[in-house]
Structure 1
Amino acid sequence: MSGDGDSHNVLFLCTGNSARSIMAEAYMNSLPAQRFKAYSAGSHPGGTVNPHALDVLRTAGLSVDGLRSKSWDEFAVPGAPHMDFVFTVCDNAAGEVCPIWPGQPMTAHWPFSDPAGFEGSDTEKRAFFLDVFRQIRARIDIFTNLPLRSLDKLALQRRIDELGRDPAKAS
């Protein structure tokens, strides 16, 4: 783990880096304990953050300053922050070949439905984005409350994998 063992870098990956990974980054960085520094990126970033994702974050009272759609290449070069955890948050990113991350971070797939691909009225879209954000928030809350210091590497890997399959089992 990076730093002094009390601070961990987390990278959330998705294909477009416009909604789910952005919401995860913003939420994790809003947590008061500051035990985690979150980043997000995409394998094929669209270049813009989805306006519905920004609306959901603002509604939740979270800062959207500095959020941008970016390539995962930014985090696979010398001098990039060392990642302790890398989570894919969409099915597309899980099936793609990921770069080799320096320092061998722990990885897991935490799938969420794609709110950007949801079709419906603006009210229905907003409700869908809010539901996906609620799921992201719940999963991150469980993860950030895991006893990281007392779990060995295999037990921790099992817990973060369980979060992707059934969050209730991981808590």
Structure 2
Amino acid sequence: MLDHTAPERIFNVLFLCTGNSARSILAESILNKDGAGRFRAYSAGSQPKGEVNPLAITTLANFDYPTEGLRSKAWDEFAGADAPVMDFVFTVCDNAAGETCPVWPGQPMTAHWGIEDPAAVEGPEIARQTAFVGAFRYLRNRIGAFAALPVSSLDKSTLRTRLVEIGQSEGASSPRGSAA
């Protein structure tokens, strides 16, 4: 539940993807840096690969984003009673958006921000690197728009509309943009 009385409140945000090795990892790092202390980002997957894609780490490092502590983990970690209560949950891959997610404590706002999977790109190293840089840029643009929202002062309906609009921005892998 969003708290409209605490101006210094830090909002918890969970980014979900099936494998939790690329897109959700990128998003976690981007929001933790660009959220200017207003957000605490996490990432998880429904079927985590168990390791972060090395090109995700390289891309983040190349753009001077933090990589320490990033790991591929199951979304179950965030559904338990001892987990941080999420204010927002965003799916960044179409597969995760279609899966039945756990019931998140606190009833967070959700939206689908799908982009193409850079880890699925095959071919020469430069093509794979380009895919990761593209994914990074799309996510950074969405996260920048999200971080600029006056979250505490928007009513739920307006906030939901804005979150869906962000998910439909350039690079969207699915025209749905609907709530996850």
TM-score (structure 1 length as normaliser): 0.94
Shift of 1:145: 0.1
Q: How does 1:54-93 map to 2 (within 5 A)?
A: 54-93=57-96
Within a 5 Å distance, the mapping from 1:1-171 to structure 2 comes to: 1=2, 4-5=6-7, 6-31=9-34, 33-166=36-169
Poorly superposed stretches of 4+, deviation over 3 Å? 2-5
Shift of 1:33: 1.8
CA distance in 1, matches of 2:167, 2:35: 24
Q: 2:47 & 2:96 partners in 1: Cα distance?
A: 9
- TM-score, with length taken from structure 2: 0.89
Give 1:165 deviation, angstroms: 1.5
SS at match of 2:127: helix
Q: CA deviation at 1:32?
A: 6.0
Report SS of the residue matched to 1:108. Answer: strand
**Secondary structure of 2:57's aligned partner:** helix
Q: Report the AA paired with residue 118 of structure 2.
A: P
Instruction: Quote the Cα distance in structure 1 between the aligned partners of 2:34 and 2:70.
Output: 16
Please give the alpha-carbon distance, in whole angstroms, between the structure 2 residues aligned to 1:63 and 1:84: 22
Q: What amino acid is the match of 1:52?
A: L
Count residues with an aligned counterpart. 167
CA contact (8 A) 2:92 2:113 kept: yes
Unmatched 5+ stretches in structure 1: none
CA RMSD for the aligned pairs?
1.4
